[in-house]
Each structure stands twice: as C-alpha cells, then as structure tokens.
Amino acid sequence: MKILFLSTNRFRIDMMQPMPIGLACVIAGIDENEHGIEVLDLMFSQDPAAELAAVLERFRPEMVAVSIRNIDSLSYVDPQYFLSEAKQMIELCRSASQARIVVGGAAFTTAPEALFDYLEPDFGIAGEGEVSFPQLVGRIEKGADWSEVPGLVWRAQGEVRTNAPAFVEDWTGLRPPRRDLFDLQKYAEVGGAANIVISQGCPMRCSYCDDPHRLGRKQRRKAVDQVIDELELMSKEASDTTIFFTAPIFNSPPSHAKKVCRGIIERGLKIRWTALIHPAFLDDELAELLQSAGCMGVSLACDSCSERMLEALQKDITKEQLAAATALLEKYGIAYMLMILFGGPGEDRESVDETLDFLRGLNPLIVSFALGIRILPNTALAEMAVEQRLIAAADPLMEPKFYISPGVEGWARNYLEEACAEQGNWSFGVLLETPGGESMADLLSHTRA
C-alpha cells in the first residue's frame, strides 16, 4: 500500500518548535519493504494546497494519514484556529485522489468524535498510533475486520463509533522514530528542537490539562538504555540541534531522570537539551546532574506564583517548593523559563500582584504570561465551567472557549502589559513567545556560551 503521511501543523509561535515526533513514531511502525511511504510536512510550506496537490498527483497514495497537532493557539488574547485549514487539506485529498483518509494526532485525541464529524475522514485514530495505525493498515490490506483496532474512530449506520485507545506499555519492540524523513536542518535553522519521547502518561491533576485523559494517568517510561541509544543516534543525525525531552514531566519520578542524566554522562554524549521540570521533584543531586549532562535549560511547570492560585489550579506545588527549585537552578547556572496562566478560578488583583512580586525576586531566562485559560474536554476546569454555566455540558469544546475570572476582567490585560514593559525578559499575550522574537535555542545557547 502507498501511504502519504501529512503533518498539517504550521503553528510556529512556540519558542522551540519541535518536529512532528508523534507522526515520526507512527511511521516507524510501517515496513518500507511492504509499503510505499511519502511524507509531507507543511511546517515550512509557502503554499500548502499546491504542495499537497503536487504530491497527490505524483505519488498517487492509497491512504493518506493526516496528523493534527493543535486545534487552536490556546491564546485568549491572540486566538488562532487551525481546524479549518486541516479540513481544507482533507477535502483536497478527497477531490484529488481515491485514497482512504485516516486522521490522528494530539488535537484529534482531544475531541475525537467531534473532530471526526467535522473533518469527515474515513477513519480516525485516537490515542497513541504506534501500534493501532499499523494494525489498521494491515487489516485493510488483507481485507480483514478492522472494527476492533484500538482507538479507531469510524462511522457506521450514521453514527460515529469510537474504540477505547491502547497505550504503549513497552517501547522495546518498537523501531526508533523516522526522524530521517523530516527536514531536521530546517527545524534547526528556526531554532527548532529534535524531540525524543522519554515517557508518556501523567499522574498529576492540574485542573485545566487533559494530558491524564489523552495519555493516561499511569506513567509509562522508556528503558534508560533505549533512551541513551536513541540520543546517541540523534546526536549523529543533527548534532547542532537542541533536543527536547518529550515527557509530561521529565523528573517524575526523579530516580528515572537521574538515571537518564547519568546515562548521558557515562556514554559521553555531547548534546544540548531541555525538558519540562516539576519544581517539587528537584533536589541538589538532580540539579547537578542536569548541568553535567548538558541540559541547556528547563521549563518549570508552575503556572502561578500565588499560593491561592496554585491550589485553585490543583498544581500540587507550594511557593516554598518553587522558590527552592529556582534557587537550585540558579546555583548550578541552569537557565529556566516560567509560563504563567492568569485568570483561573478566583484570580483577582491580590493574586496577580502576589505572582508578579514573587517573579521580581527571581532570575529566569524568560517569563511568558497568558491571560485566560483554554477550557479542554475531560478536565476539572471544564466541569467547573459547566457548573458555572459558562459552557454547556454537551459542548465538545472543539471550538476554543476560555475561562477568565471576573476578578481580572477589564483591567488585567493593560496591567500585565505594563508589568512586562518594565522587565526585559517578560512577555505577554502568546504562549511561549520570547520578548525579542528569538528562538529559545538561540537564547539557551547564549546562556552556556
């Protein structure tokens, strides 16, 4: 079977734009000795429709696997919606080919039934497609029953049906991601990251985050030796590219993070990397290991520096733990970034000032502010929004809706913009944007020059 893999994501506001690692993992499950493979990554496309039409004409696929990373920009201040463009790409595939269309990706998994109904593919894969997609391909090619493929979404008798997703419990039998099929050099040129999946699943209970639903609450970790082997391969493929450790929380548990760091040191890998760190799980030993293993910087998962708001957002972090974590990072010269979400339940001027005052006492590389929190399905925040009659209980939240506390409406935007103007490394309005528009890789390289 000839399969075209299409990555629709073109959202490049992120400070460290990652290549489509999820799609690369799915492609790895397809044997090129049995199937023809073509990849079209629209990240750098100047004319997506024309490029897709040309590939469809030349390659003539029998199946198109469409990966959708983001529904929207998650920004209340600067909203951008991406599903309409993805739908246009699917409609083009319909009109220009006879290929079956399969949709997956993080965005699809967020609201699979609603997105399936809107996008109108032949099939969808909710959850991790590393195993499910090859199963679907094999069963279709053999003419076998595909209705029990894990995570499969399809339409039957006028109704959208969804199978429960299957999570990858053991990565040892899976091939390494097909990063070679993507233009790693282009990602490096825009400060992009060559990401590696370290673990999946999140046991935390942040009120706004759907990771525990999409990825499962059970943490599933790659064996340390497998991680180090993959990092060694990556260091040869793109030695100048910063590596991002893809994990809901890299240092949960701390013991696994320490083993990864020691593995990097023992193997003698000269790599630059970054990860998401939980402040409560950072100690002196891990901070020293991060420095020794080539960590260029970390993003601290805090979202607020107000004790009351940390509790409201169910962060399971205290200000004391956050202060201790930043002190350790500064002690070992590790750059750190903070992303602050303003406007959650109960936010008011007192909690906003508490956060700003706390931040003024730190020395972060970057602080990025967002006002308003995107309400996602299957989260505690969505339940609260239903109770407060901000959204309907049946709303699939495919179209972006935001929670913003009445206590910050009408004044917080100007107030936060003024606070950012006083600080050279604070930015407001877009998630993960640097104040000067630099890539995060460039900024991190300056800190370790």
Cα(190)–Cα(196) distance, rounded to whole angstroms?
A: 18
Cα(175)–Cα(25) distance, rounded to whole angstroms?
A: 8
pLDDT tens track for 29-51? 999 999 999 999 999 999 999 99
Q: 24: buried, middle or exposed (CB in 10 Å: 19+, 13-18, 0-12)?
A: buried
Q: Which long-range contacts (CB under 8 A, 24 or more apart) does 253-256 make?
A: 253/219, 253/281, 254/281, 254/282, 254/283, 254/286, 256/199, 256/221, 256/224
Are domains 2-162 and 183-447 of this chain identical in fold? no
Q: 77: buried, middle or exposed (CB in 10 Å: 19+, 13-18, 0-12)?
A: middle
pLDDT of residue 435: 42
Contact 133, 233 (CB under 8 A): no
Name the residue with tokens 């009351």.
308
Contact 349, 327 (CB under 8 A): no
pLDDT of residue 245: 93
Q: Say how many residues make up the chain.
A: 449
Cα(152)–Cα(216) distance, rounded to whole angstroms?
A: 17
pLDDT of residue 120: 96
Name the residue with tokens 């972090």.
317
State how far Cα 370 lies from the chain centre. Answer: 17
pLDDT of residue 116: 97
CATH code of 183-447, in short, is 3.80.30.20
Domain positions in the chain are 2-162, 183-447
Tokens of 48: 């997506």
Cα(29)–Cα(182) distance, rounded to whole angstroms?
A: 16
Distance from first CA to last CA of the chain, Å, rounded? 49
| Contact partners, residue 418, CB within 8 Å, separation at least 6 | none
Cα(136)–Cα(132) distance, rounded to whole angstroms?
A: 6
Superfamily of domain 2-162: Cobalamin-binding domain (3.40.50.280)
Greatest Cα-to-Cα distance within the chain, rounded to the nearest angstrom: 65
What pTM value is reported for the model? 0.92
Number of H helices and number of E strands within the chain? 17, 18
Identify the DSSP state of 297. E
Name the residue with tokens 């239903």.
386
Identify the DSSP state of 81. B
pLDDT of residue 279: 95
Contact 263, 227 (CB under 8 A): yes
Tokens of 361: 């006492």
Contact 366, 443 (CB under 8 A): yes
Q: What is the pLDDT along the chain (449 residues), one digit of tens a residue?
A: 999 999 999 887 655 677 899 999 999 999 999 999 999 999 999 999 999 999 999 999 999 999 999 999 898 988 899 999 999 999 999 999 999 999 999 999 999 999 999 999 999 999 999 999 999 999 999 999 999 999 999 999 989 999 999 899 888 888 999 999 999 888 888 777 788 999 999 999 999 999 999 999 999 999 999 999 999 998 887 667 789 998 899 999 999 999 999 999 999 999 999 999 999 999 999 999 999 999 999 999 899 999 999 999 999 999 999 999 999 999 999 999 999 999 999 999 999 999 999 999 999 999 999 999 999 999 999 999 999 999 999 999 999 999 999 999 999 999 999 999 999 899 987 554 444 444 455 545 545 44
pLDDT tens track for 282-305? 999 999 999 999 999 999 989 999
Name the residue with tokens 């079977």.
1
pLDDT of residue 193: 74
